Amino acid sequence: MIKVENVKKAFGHTTVLDGVDLTIAPGEVVSILGSSGSGKSTLIRCINGLEKLNSGRIMVDEFDVGKPRELAEARKRSGTVFQLFNLYPHMTVLGNITLAPIEVLKKPRAEAEATARALLKSVGLGSRADAYPAQLSGGQRQRVGICRALAMQPRYLLLDEVTSALDPEMTAEVLAILAKLAQDGTTMLFVTHEVEFARQISDRIVFLDNGRLLVDLPTKEFFAAEGGMARPRVAQFLSKMRKE
Ligand SMILES: Nc1ncnc2c1ncn2[C@@H]1O[C@H](COP(=O)(O)OP(=O)(O)OP(=O)(O)O)[C@@H](O)[C@H]1O
Ligand SMILES: [Mg+2]
């Protein structure tokens, strides 16, 4: 389970996360919605131990992300794919995917490569193992990014707007992969502006507003009540997203 407990995070005098509580159980798909600047990426970066908390605690299974000795174990459990493609440009697709399994998990190269090839095949890139990132489209690169995260066999997959830099066709390609992962029972924390897609794949929707977690509801209830108690703010957000 991922447990975010009363997390506060500020940059200088700006509070970016203001007492966030969130629990994600194995098998759940949880989408985080919220306006630009509401703190979504910061929350993902905190779960990854990339940001130091001002207060509160984040546990990934039994490991405390804030404790330097436990961070590596916590990170092994959560694979992350970011907004921007961050593949190593000087390595092939296969090299990018097998690097961490070989270096961190100490997997034999042959085994790591076999896993990588199977993952690539599952996202429709079976023939591109030897290509370099620059030779791929944005959608293909992002699919490789997903394979790279999955190659570490994480218990949790954290996705931060993985389709925001893609055109609609490439977005559809990547979302299809994510829908399949959700169906297969992958635990996912999914930051997105794709409201309709979030509605289709999520068990729960959380809504961040100015660093506060205003809403945490089962997907059906979230959309039926447009945010329940936080209805005015959520309705405003949803109507803006639908116009875009
Ligand atoms: N390293 C940093 N230093 C200072 N301020 C930061 C830093 N990172 C984020 N912020 C600020 O924190 C706030 C939340 O940023 P964050 O990137 O988490 O928002 P977001 O919800 O992911 O937005 P978007 O939808 O645009 O990706 C913003 O006001 C941002 O300017
Ligand atoms: Mg962001």
For atom 18 of ligand 1, the residue with the nearest CA is: 39
Domain of 66, CATH number, reads 3.40.50.300
Mean pLDDT within 98-121: 94
Q: Which ligand places an atom closest to the C-alpha of 17?
A: 1
For atom 9 of ligand 1, the residue with the nearest CA is: 42
Alpha carbon 91 to its chain centroid, in Å, reads 23
Answer yes or no: is the C-beta of 211 below 6 A from any ligand 1 atom: no
Has residue 208 got a pLDDT over 70? yes
* Mean confidence (pLDDT) of the chain: 91
Has residue 227 got a pLDDT over 80? no
Has residue 108 got a pLDDT over 90? yes
Gap between the Cα atoms of 27 and 183, Å rounded: 10
Q: Which ligand places an atom closest to the C-alpha of 39?
A: 1
Which residues place a Cβ less than 5 A from the ion ligand 2?
Answer: 40-41
| Residue-range definition of the domain harbouring residue 55 | 2-243
For atom 30 of ligand 1, the residue with the nearest CA is: 37
Residue 47 sits at the vertex; the CA angle it makes with 198 and 82, to the nearest 5 degrees, is: 55
If one counts the domains in the chain, the total is 1
Q: Two tokens at 122?
A: 């599952």
Alpha-carbon distances, residue 136 vs 90, 100, 122, 166, 203 (angstroms): 13, 21, 17, 13, 33
Four-residue CA torsion sign, 198, 115, 155, 166? negative
The model's pLDDT over 12-46, given as tens digits with 9 standing for 90+, comes to: 999 999 999 999 999 999 999 999 999 999 999 99
Mean pLDDT within 89-114: 95
No. of H helices and E strands in the chain?
9, 10
For atom 2 of ligand 1, the residue with the nearest CA is: 11
